[in-house]
A and B are shown apart, each in its own frame.
Chain A
Amino acid sequence: MIAMQTLTQRLANPTRFMQLSGRLLPWIAGLAGVLLAVGLFMAFTAPLDYQQGHAAKIMFVHVPSAWLAMAGYTLVAASSFGLLVFRHPLADVSAKAAAPIGAAFTFLCLVTGSLWGKPMWGTFWVWDPRLTSVLILFFLYLGLIALRSSIEDEALAAKLTAVLALVGIVMLPVIKFSVEWNSLHQPASVMRLGAPTIHASLLRPLLVMAVGLTALFAALHLKAMRNEILRRRVKALRTVEVEDAGGLAGQPAE
């Protein structure tokens, strides 16, 4: 706990964060690339599912997207908590950076789910508790992005977005347990109490793809945080430029 606190305190300095993230980013991105290449090979050489045949291959991108949609929102909410409670200087940078990436994975979850649903259920979409709650999560992400961009005062935008993100966390247990509410969607087969119900030959590529996409998410998040820090530096430099110009203009001629 103390070690974790020391790490977060050390990372509170954006310059130190830029140095550390600059060193880590190529390794995380490289790891993601290798894992995704191996995962795709395993996915396309995995044995056929006895019921769904080849269509079960969609699971290898759909399920990790769903996990990362929820993990991304957890990251946004935890960062928002860090901003509102601890006022950590990088908390808002993290929350802002994670929102579009989480939204992208939620979109992928919805689209790949539809493409899996059509051959298996006979329909692209049904107003089922699981599908509907994930659609609400997608709109929640879009709401966070829209709210932030609609307020010019960055500090105010950060606080209001953080409050909305914390309120929206109620969607995560709703999504998790919605499969038990008369849902067409199958219940959890990996993240459940007891052993996974999925066969090991399909579980292995699924886990490799999940770890690979998680590494990609981490790399994208680090890169987005670095971009946001640079954007804030640009803003600070422009402010200095305007202040210097104003100071010179206001000086009496000698």
Chain B
Amino acid sequence: MDLGPHAGFIWAAYGVVAVVLAALVAWLVLDGRRQQQLIDELEARGIRRRSQHDGAPRQSSD
């Protein structure tokens, strides 16, 4: 594709957009996987949030 004398600037602009947006997507996907993995590990050790404890009302800590 012939983009004329300013082709370098045009490709650079589209290239930087592609790289930054791809990095943003990759960061968010990997971060989501990491957080889900941590939750799975903690729950596999039998740790549950207070609200998940057999439906029992949350007890005061004091």
Query: Which A residues fall within an 8 A CB radius of B?
Result: 44, 53-55, 57-58, 61-62, 65, 100-101, 104, 107-108, 111-112, 115-116, 118-119, 216, 220, 223-224, 226-227, 230-231, 233-234, 236-238, 240-241, 243-244
Contacts and interface: CB of A to CB of B under 8 A. Distances in A.
B42 A115 contact: no
B13 A115 contact: yes
B42 A234 contact: yes
B44 to A, nearest CB: 11
Q: Which of B17, B32, B50 has the most CB of A within 10 A?
A: B17
B27 to A, nearest CB: 8
A58 B4 CA distance: 13
20 contacts: A54-B10, A55-B6, A57-B3, A57-B10, A62-B13, A101-B24, A107-B20, A108-B17, A112-B16, A115-B16, A116-B13, A118-B9, A223-B28, A223-B29, A223-B32, A227-B35, A233-B49, A234-B38, A237-B42, A244-B47
Nearest to B28: A223
B35 to A, nearest CB: 4
Nearest to B30: A227
A116 B9 contact: yes
Contacts of A224: 28
B12 interface: yes
B24 A104 contact: yes
Contacts of A238: 42
A220 B4 contact: no
Q: Which of A107, A220, A231, A237 has the most CB of B within 10 A?
A: A237
Nearest to A29: B25
B42 to A, nearest CB: 4
Nearest to A236: B49
B42 A119 contact: no
Nearest to B27: A100
A196 to B, nearest CB: 22
Nearest to A216: B21
Contacts of A237: 39, 42-43, 47-49
